[in-house]
Amino acid sequence: MFRWFQGDSYENAMAEAFKSLFKAECIRHPVMRPHGGWQSIGEVEWAVAEYTDWFSHRRLHGEIGHVPPAEYEATYWANHTAVDYREASVLAEAGTR
């Protein structure tokens, strides 16, 4: 059975912020767009893949010490132990409104 989970305003804000960045940096930026625009869906797909790779692996993010997000995440997990979520306690009021 499919269950619909409603997101909160923070998730929507993050999606809107990413969409705005994507439009400004990938779609409208002349360096990303070939002269005369993309000629096929395949070219658009490559542009999106290249942008996503750059956004996650090479972009220097100021809020996390000017390191790429993938590097920051790898460092985070290298310094934290994984939690076995089956055994982790959950507050009784978690998930209630």
pLDDT tens for residues 53-82? 999 899 998 999 999 999 999 999 888 877
Q: Tokens 């100021």 identify what position?
A: 62
Higher-pLDDT residue of 27, 7? 27
CB 34 within 8 A of CB 44: no
What residue spans of the chain are helical by DSSP H?
9-22, 41-57, 69-78
Q: Is residue 20 part of a domain?
A: yes
pLDDT at residue 28 tops 90: no
pLDDT for 75 equals: 92
Q: Which residues pair with 61 in a beta bridge?
A: 67
CB 84 within 8 A of CB 95: no
Q: Is residue 63 part of a domain?
A: yes
Q: Is residue 90 part of a domain?
A: no
Q: Which residues pair with 52 in a beta bridge?
A: none
Q: Is residue 57 part of a domain?
A: yes
Q: Is residue 46 part of a domain?
A: yes
Split at pLDDT 50, 70, 90, the class of 94 is: low
Q: Is residue 47 part of a domain?
A: yes
Q: How many domains does the chain have?
A: 1
Q: Is residue 61 part of a domain?
A: yes
Q: Is residue 91 part of a domain?
A: no
Which structural domain, as residue segments, surrounds residue 71? 9-78
Average pLDDT over all residues of the chain = 81
